[in-house]
Structure 1
Amino acid sequence: MYRPRFFGELPGDATDKIVVVEAKVVGVKVLSMIQPRASLFVLREAQYETRSWGTKYRGSLAIHTSKKVNKVVCSHVAVKSLLLKHGYKADDLPAGVIIATCYLENCLRVWKTTRHGPCLRMGES
């Protein structure tokens, strides 16, 4: 499980905007995500990121957007509404760049998936 916990505040009225970082990141683990999921996660509209594997790593993590933008997901009414709430459309989402850093503080096991989403088990990696 990855929950964004950001290192400091964004300046001024930029608190709902993604800051694209094009600098080289050295010595930091990177998690790549397909858009619009990456932006929704960074904008705190998605609380968890699930993977089929666990990790014992805890620490700084850069959030990278893959070059792919899933236009079908972006056209879903709920997703489109969340993106517009922050001033984004499918065509202007950042792609192929690091958009945030966070701190991975825990990794939970998905022990079953229901129609409502994954059920997480606390305290496991």
Structure 2
Amino acid sequence: MTVISLYQPYATLVVLGLKQFETRSWDTHYRGILGIHATSTMPAWCRNLCLQEPFRNRLSAHGFRADNLPLGKILGTVNLVDTQRTEDWLTEKGEDIDNFVNWYEQYLYGDYSDGRFAWEFQNSRLFDVPIPAKGSLGFWKFNLDNE
């Protein structure tokens, strides 16, 4: 399985289907199932996000807080279906007034600075039991048969 590591609380929000876009400084041609791994560390700025809205309410609705988010584990999968430049994403979503609340929340979950890329996720799946894994930068491979 192809996997990418994300800081918490982003990793949990992704596998819960609440964070539908991941913003990155690089684009990818990869499409398909992608494992979501929570890094083994959680910087202070990430812990602080868990106290802010909409992070706090979204996490607490699923029983999560900064002190009980899983770390160093593959949490689930998503389907990476598309990528686009953040400038294009902002233009497209800015014109979709009917869904403003949803798109604004997605905006709060990412860095939509110029020159970045928004990766669109669908069909998120949270594993019943997260899989311990070391993680790595960029995409990396994990063999589910050897867990």
Q: Which amino acid aligns with 1:75?
A: L
Task: Please list every run of 5 or more consecutive structure 2 residues that lacks an aligned counterpart in the other structure.
Answer: 92-103, 119-147
* Structure 1 position 66 matched with structure 2 position 42: no
* Structure 1 position 35 matched with structure 2 position 5: no
Corresponding residue SS for 2:23 = coil
Matched residues in 2 for 1:95 and 1:37: separation?
A: 12
Q: Aligned residue for 1:98?
A: 74
Matched residues in 2 for 1:71 and 1:60: separation?
A: 28
TM-score where L is the length of structure 2: 0.56
Task: Please list every run of 5 or more consecutive structure 1 residues that lacks an aligned counterpart in the other structure.
Answer: 1-27
Q: Which amino acid aligns with 1:34?
A: Y
Q: Aligned residue for 2:84?
A: 108
Higher helix share: 2
Give runs of ≥4 in structure 1 deviating > 3 Å. Answer: 116-122
33, 55, 58: which is aligned to 2:28?
55
* Seq. identity, %: 37
Q: CA RMSD in A?
A: 2.7
TM-score where L is the length of structure 1: 0.64
| Count of aligned pairs | 94
Structure number with the bigger relative contact order (C-alpha 8 A, sep ≥ 6) is: 2
